């Protein structure tokens, strides 16, 4: 199948590679030339514009946030100029309110739209083991099956409305942030009583939480080093804020998310904005007066 891809980045690069490996033809566009050149080197074709990347039956987009999508796909006139029929699959993590707006704008334009944010870091994108959280009409998923299975370990259809996938994704990221905070607070408490955090983490990750999220982020906390970056701290802060926004809109209190947001803000203030978002763990150590080992 011929498809377009708009907005490559660290995550999108792996997705494009797996689409190509599955035998699909992919035309790519990004505002930076380097990721486009890298995609072309492995078999993609370069599109001169986002509009040119959407001259097929399906176009994927993976832009950083609401404002980027608004600028590239809406304010530019891209959406209203597209040929029909076309399915737009939006892999970005965006706010619930903006997800609803995009659904309405696509309906007006007569373009089929699917929200499909992902769980997984760049290594999972490259390995094709992402979990896709999909919102959209079931008949559209049938048309997209070969594409979605090429880039993921599993597709989770969570609702008929595209924005519902955005809500599930934000709630999941909120849970990850809370898990990081919980491991940090527990090991800070243990350290203050003379217990090796490595022993604590070995125990917790074997007996209580033997899963990828705890093991992956537990390793950052174990080392107290927050590179290589899989998900930058400002993006984590954005997602927790969006979860809180969604909670406020539906009058659902999220007290844990509020506490984690404060830790993320504190980490930003302490210069961790270029580190992995698991660096929020350092704020638990700072509050406990535990210095980093030399």
What would the pLDDT profile of 82-135 be if each residue is shown by its tens digit?
989 999 999 999 999 999 999 999 999 999 999 999 999 999 999 999 999 999
> Pick from 39, 88, 92: which is nearest to 64 by CA?
92
Answer yes or no: 83 catalytic.
no
Please give the Cα distance from 107 to 48 (Å, whole number).
Answer: 26
Whether the predicted pLDDT of 294 surpasses 50:
no
How far does CA 188 lie from the centroid of its chain? 28
Of these residues, 2, 84, 153, 169, which one is catalytic? 169
6 and 152 share one domain? yes
Over residues 12-20, mean pLDDT: 97
Number of domains in the chain: 2
Please give the Cα distance from 148 to 155 (Å, whole number).
Answer: 7
For residue 294, being part of any structural domain is answered with no
> Pick from 23, 1, 32, 2: which is nearest to 13 by CA?
32
Structural domain of residue 212, as residue ranges? 167-287
Please give the Cα distance from 147 to 3 (Å, whole number).
Answer: 9
> What pLDDT, on a 0 to 100 scale, did the predictor assign at position 257?
97
187 and 129 share one domain? no
Which residue, chain included where needed, has tokens 């891809």?
Answer: 5
> What pLDDT, on a 0 to 100 scale, did the predictor assign at position 116?
98
Q: Strand 152-159 and strand 45-46: pairing?
A: unpaired
258 and 238 share one domain? yes
For residue 181, being part of any structural domain is answered with yes
Over residues 68-89, mean pLDDT: 96
What would the pLDDT profile of 208-225 be if each residue is shown by its tens digit?
999 999 999 999 999 999
13 and 143 share one domain? yes
For residue 293, being part of any structural domain is answered with no
Q: What are phi and psi of 134, to 5 degrees?
A: -115, 130
CATH number of the domain encompassing residue 27: 3.40.50.720
83 and 188 share one domain? no
113 and 30 share one domain? yes
Percent of the chain with pLDDT strictly greater than 70: 99
What would the pLDDT profile of 257-278 be if each residue is shown by its tens digit?
999 999 999 999 999 999 999 9
148 and 181 share one domain? no
122 and 179 share one domain? no
Mean pLDDT (the chain) is 96
Over residues 26-43, mean pLDDT: 97
20 and 127 share one domain? yes
142 and 55 share one domain? yes
Last-in-domain residue among 107, 141, 160: 160
Please give the Cα distance from 61 to 83 (Å, whole number).
Answer: 16
63 and 208 share one domain? no
Please give the Cα distance from 175 to 221 (Å, whole number).
Answer: 17
Q: What are phi and psi of 199, to 5 degrees?
A: -65, -45
Last-in-domain residue among 115, 132, 160: 160
Query: What 3-state class would DSSP assign to 226?
Result: coil
pLDDT confidence tier of residue 292, bands split at 50, 70 and 90: confident
Last-in-domain residue among 160, 193, 221: 160
């Amino acid at each position: 199948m011929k498809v377009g891809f708009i907005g490559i980045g660290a995550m999108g690069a792996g997705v494009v590679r797996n689409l190509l490996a599955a035998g699909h033809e992919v035309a790519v566009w990004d505002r930076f030339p380097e990721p486009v050149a890298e995609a072309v080197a492995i078999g993609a074709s370069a599109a001169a514009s986002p509009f040119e990347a959407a001259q097929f039956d399906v176009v994927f987009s993976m832009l950083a946030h609401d404002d980027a999508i608004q600028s590239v796909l809406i304010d530019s006139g891209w959406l209203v100029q597209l040929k029909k029929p076309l399915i737009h699959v939006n892999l970005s993590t965006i706010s619930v309110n903006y997800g609803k707006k995009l659904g309405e704008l696509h309906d007006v334009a007569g373009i089929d739209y699917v929200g499909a944010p992902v769980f997984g870091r760049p290594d999972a994108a490259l390995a094709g083991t992402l979990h896709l959280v999909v919102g959209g009409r079931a008949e559209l998923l049938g048309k997209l099956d070969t594409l979605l299975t090429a880039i993921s370990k599993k597709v989770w259809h969570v609702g008929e409305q595209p924005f519902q996938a955005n809500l599930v994704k934000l709630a999941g990221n909120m849970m990850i942030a809370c898990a990081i905070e919980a491991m940090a607070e527990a090991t800070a408490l243990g350290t203050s009583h003379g217990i090796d955090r490595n022993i604590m983490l070995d125990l917790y990750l074997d007996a209580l939480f033997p899963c990828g999220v705890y093991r992956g982020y537990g390793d950052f906390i174990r080392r107290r080093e927050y590179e290589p970056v899989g998900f930058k701290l400002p993006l984590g802060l954005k997602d927790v804020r969006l979860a809180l926004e969604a909670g406020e809109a539906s009058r659902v209190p999220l007290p844990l998310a509020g506490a984690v947001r404060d830790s993320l803000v504190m980490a930003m203030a302490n210069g961790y904005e270029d580190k992995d978002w698991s660096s929020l763990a350092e704020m638990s150590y700072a509050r406990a007066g535990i210095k980093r080992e030399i």
